[in-house]
């Protein structure tokens, strides 16, 4: 396992660029650890290394992912996210605890949060919707990234028209959160839901808009028809 980790770290270092690292830092308010690679390059590197695995069992892949998460480097977290998603057909209910550990222990920025949750966690929830209750518990967390994760895990299912009632429940829990990362996260979730359920999301926003943070409101209505957006923004 250490040989695989060492090889991918060597390649990340070899392809790192200082200008890319400095430029990427500007997108984050918190301190982030970066080698300095574009996300497309990280994705390509992760795919090429994954092809070489003799053992593609979930247990082996998750063990590798865990080591990558521990480093704190954003690019390594992206590789971990790609690899965990690659074994999605092997997901089992017990995996929720692993994903919860990654989110609560290792995620420290919006990019790692969204990359993990949009795909790996979102796919898991579609496979095992009984764990929507777990996302609602995440929404009550004191950890800003766990709270954001509760919403952004539902972005892709929301676009497909799924889990609307649960989306509204999570939005209710996060409604008055003061953290802009959380506000943007649940606003994005509502925006995704509006692609399949524009009228339902509009009605929800109209009920909540007097107390909803403007950041969340703007995100939520972004894809609504112009006339509905105007009504939602009117004071």
- Both ends of the chain: CA-CA distance in Å? 58
Gap between the Cα atoms of 124 and 95, Å rounded: 8
Walk along the chain (235 residues) in steps of 10 and give the mean pLDDT of each run: 90 96 94 96 96 95 98 97 98 98 98 98 98 98 98 98 98 98 98 98 97 97 95 89
Contact assessment for residue 151 and residue 170, using Cβ atoms and an 8 Å cutoff: yes
Length of the chain: 235
C-alpha span between 143 and 149 (Å, rounded) = 10
**What DSSP state is assigned to residue 25?**
H
What is the per-residue pLDDT for 1? 64
122/143 Cα distance (integer angstroms): 19
Q: Which residues contact 210 (CB under 8 A, 6 or more apart)?
A: none
Beta partners for residue 33, in sequence order = 73
**CA geometry: angle 66, 20, 149, nearest 5 deg:** 40
User: Model-level pTM?
Assistant: 0.95
Can you give the pLDDT at residue 147? 98
The pLDDT value given to residue 145:
98
**Domains of the chain (ranges plus CATH)?**
1-90 (no CATH), 98-235 (1.25.10.90)
């Amino acid at each position: 396992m250490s040989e695989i980790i060492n090889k991918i770290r060597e390649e990340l270092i070899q392809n790192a660029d200082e200008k890319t690292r400095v430029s990427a830092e500007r997108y984050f308010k918190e301190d982030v650890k970066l080698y300095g690679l574009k996300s497309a390059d990280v994705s390509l590197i992760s795919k090429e290394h994954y092809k070489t695995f003799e053992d593609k069992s979930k247990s082996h892949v998750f063990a590798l992912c865990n080591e990558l998460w521990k480093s704190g480097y954003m690019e390594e977290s992206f590789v971990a996210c790609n690899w965990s998603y690659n074994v999605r057909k092997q997901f089992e209910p017990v995996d929720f605890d692993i994903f919860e550990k990654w989110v609560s222990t290792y995620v420290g920025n919006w990019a790692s949060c969204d990359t993990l949750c949009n795909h790996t966690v979102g796919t898991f929830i579609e496979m095992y919707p009984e764990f929507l209750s777990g996302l609602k518990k995440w929404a009550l967390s004191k950890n800003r990234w766990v709270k954001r994760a509760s919403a952004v895990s539902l972005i892709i299912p929301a676009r497909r028209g799924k889990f609307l009632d649960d989306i509204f429940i999570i939005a209710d829990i996060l409604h008055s959160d003061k953290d802009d990362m959380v506000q943007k996260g649940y606003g994005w979730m509502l925006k995704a839901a509006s692609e399949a359920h524009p009228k339902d999301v509009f009605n929800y926003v109209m009920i909540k808009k007097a107390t909803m943070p403007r950041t969340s409101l703007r995100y939520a209505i972004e894809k609504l028809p112009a006339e509905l957006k105007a009504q939602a923004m009117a004071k």
